Amino acid sequence: MQEIRYLDSVYAGEGIWQRLNEHLELKKYGSIFILTDSNTAVHCLPYLTSKLPKKWNLRQLQIKAGESYKNIESCLQIWEELSSNLADRHSLLINLGGGVVTDLGGFVASTFKRGIDFINIPTSLLAMVDASIGGKNGVDLGVLKNQIGVINEPELVLMDIKFLDTLPPAHKVSGLAEMLKHGLIASESYFNRLLRSHDSSMWLDLIWESVEIKHKIVTEDRSEEGSRKFLNFGHTLGHAIESHYLDKADGEAILHGEAVAIGMILAAYISTRMRSLSEEKRDTIANGILEFFDKRRFSEKDIEAILGLLIYDKKNRGGKILFVLINDFGKPIWDCEVPDAVIRAAFNYYKNL
């Protein structure tokens, strides 16, 4: 077999396509469906089909591209297409795409006929280092992120970094936010190496290190009762910011990674105010993130709307809004209550960077 890296069901490297063919030979699925969005159908599907023997007779399913289509209506469309194509419990769904496709496709597969096998082939950096690892599958409820879903592991996760060549620059940078987060909660040296990651030959090693960090955390806490919450650093405000922009009447959009990047800067400020993160490291984190992400302007109206959305965060308990904060690199803490006044001060810190 060609060179390959693997952790449990997650594989990366040149040998992944042989691994996929071996799996299909072993399982002998009655039918194989492949879910794409309108972008990956054009830019990624031909590459995938070139790697598979024609005997597998893949049947294509497609949703529209974008976070706004990560909803139950898209699920209904795919469930109905699976049913009309006589998919049964011995069928397979291959999810070829970014986080929207892998999240939604995993949810569709986990619920169709009480569960069919699925394989994730992430095509975005964000999906490779985050969405495809850990078995979280689901959809948004209106503009509220990931409110409906299940935890269920795919049969395989297959990563080919050649898919990254199909991404617009902004989408490559978006995925970097989750990698920076892994550095903040697990490894200062990894965070610093990411800041120097301008050589494309380093990408597979850096991506795989992120996979290892997330895999270790998920393996220790699959049901998110404790330490898996660390992966939500920057996401409490990040998800609220993302939801706010999804709901804006002018249609202005923000990528998930961009929202999380802002959320991490805000969380770093809060960690200095409420925990023991030094001001020096807070500023190092903020300035490092801003090397990759442009600043956004938030009006007072925007901030109030974002604060109002925090109540819907999945980590909340008993009506209390709970944050993940850090005492230092690699020293996260979960379930931290934060007063609104401190959150507003964090936005002011961000504004003045």
The matching CATH number, chosen from 3.30.1360.100, 3.40.50.1970, 3.40.190.10, 3.50.40.10, for 5-166 is 3.40.50.1970
Highest CATH level, class, for 169-351 = mainly alpha
- For each of the chain's 353 residues, which pLDDT tens digit applies? 457 888 889 999 889 999 999 999 999 999 999 999 999 999 999 999 999 888 888 999 999 999 999 999 999 999 999 999 999 999 999 999 999 999 999 999 999 999 999 999 999 999 999 877 889 999 999 888 889 999 999 999 999 999 999 998 888 889 999 999 999 999 999 999 999 876 666 788 999 999 999 999 999 888 788 889 999 999 999 999 999 998 775 657 799 999 999 999 999 999 999 999 999 999 999 999 999 999 999 999 999 999 999 988 777 777 788 999 999 999 999 999 999 999 999 999 999 99
**In this predicted structure, what is the pLDDT of residue 319?**
74
What residue segments make up the domains of the chain, in order of their start? 5-166, 169-351
Separation CA 57–CA 33 (nearest Å): 9
**In this predicted structure, what is the pLDDT of residue 143?**
82
Which residue pairs, CB below 8 angstroms and at least 24 apart, start in 47-51? 47/162, 47/163, 48/96, 48/121, 51/17, 51/20
* Cβ–Cβ < 8 Å for 40, 49: no
Domain 5-166 and domain 169-351 have a common topology: no
**In this predicted structure, what is the pLDDT of residue 1?**
43
Determine the 3-state secondary structure of 147 from DSSP: strand
Quote the strand ranges of the chain, DSSP E. Answer: 5-7, 10-12, 31-37, 59-63, 91-97, 117-122, 136-141, 144-151, 156-159, 322-328, 331-337
**In this predicted structure, what is the pLDDT of residue 331?**
97
